[in-house]
């Protein structure tokens, strides 16, 4: 199965879920973006490492790295391998130099470790086809962190609650998706995208 390498494109406050963040991954050699909603703790863990900040005491992911390195275990890659009912599944590919082991992990934890081990992040083509969003231009600077910038402003146009999407025509949803992308509302765009995909499958 074909793997696609991803890079962290941006991290911003979620505009529709309180206390959540939108982590945006982008394919290294293309324009598709994969928005993933993560919790505040995981967002902080990723942002601290991206900004090369040193906490006074080790965070959980820092402890994991120190433990692994002490016993000569290295995380060689992160693989986002499945998407079921809107939930991404990931695993760590680890080695001690003699054998390779795959360990199941939450996607947010896996990416927090990826930035610490400086290892590549991959997903499968079918996941990008299902959940990816295509952008014509770069709209987020590389490694933009919500921890060091103001939250993205709310759109001047009201965001539709998820239940209202069902009453919209597919053409209206496509227009809403385009607006959400223009305004960098990736978490909202992912919800609209899911509704459009559900209609294609039914």
Domain positions in the chain are: 3-152
Higher pLDDT, 151 or 11: 11
What mean pLDDT comes out for the span 7-14?
A: 85
Task: Examine the pLDDT at 131 and tell me if it is beyond 70.
Answer: yes
Q: Is the pLDDT of residue 158 over 80?
A: no
Residue 103 has pLDDT above 90, yes or no: yes
Helices (H), 105-185: 107-117, 125-131, 170-182
Residue range 84-108: average pLDDT?
Answer: 94
Report the pLDDT value the prediction gives residue 161, as an integer from 0 to 100. 45
CA nearest to 40, candidates 58, 18, 55: 18
128 vs 160 pLDDT, higher one: 128
CATH topology of domain 3-152: Bifunctional nuclease domain (3.10.690)
- The answer to whether 96 and 88 have CB atoms below 8 angstroms apart is no
- What are 45-91's pLDDT values in tens digits? 898 888 888 777 888 999 999 999 999 999 999 999 999 888 899 99
Beta bridge partners of residue 92, listed in sequence order: 78, 103
Of residues 9, 3, 31, the one with CA closest to residue 22: 9
Residue 127 pLDDT grade (very low, low, confident, very high; cuts 50, 70, 90):
very high
The label of the residue with tokens 């986002």 reads 80
107-117 and 40-50 helices, crossing angle to 10°: 10
- Using the predicted structure, report yes or no on whether residue 107 has a pLDDT greater than 70: yes
This prediction's pTM: 0.68
Could you tell me which residue, 190 or 142, shows the higher pLDDT? 190
């Amino acid at each position: 199965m074909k793997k696609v390498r991803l890079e962290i494109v941006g991290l911003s406050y979620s505009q529709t879920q309180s206390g959540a963040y939108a982590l945006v991954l982008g394919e290294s050699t293309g324009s598709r973006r994969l928005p993933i909603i993560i919790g505040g703790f995981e967002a902080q863990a990723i942002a601290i490492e991206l900004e090369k900040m040193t906490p006074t005491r080790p965070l959980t992911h820092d402890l994991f790295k120190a433990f692994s390195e002490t016993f000569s275990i290295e995380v060689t890659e992160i693989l986002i391998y499945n998407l079921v009912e809107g939930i991404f599944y990931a695993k760590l590919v680890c080695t001690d130099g003699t054998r390779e082991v795959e360990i199941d992990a939450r996607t947010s934890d896996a990416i927090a470790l990826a930035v610490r081990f400086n290892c590549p992040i991959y997903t499968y083509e079918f996941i990008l086809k299902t959940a990816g969003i295509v952008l014509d231009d770069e709209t987020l600077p590389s490694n933009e962190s919500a921890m060091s910038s103001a939250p993205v402003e709310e759109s001047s146009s009201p965001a539709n609650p998820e239940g209202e999407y069902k009453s919209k025509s597919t053409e209206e949803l496509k227009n809403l998706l385009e607006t959400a992308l223009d305004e960098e509302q990736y978490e909202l765009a992912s919800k609209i995208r899911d509704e459009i995909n559900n209609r294609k499958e039914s």
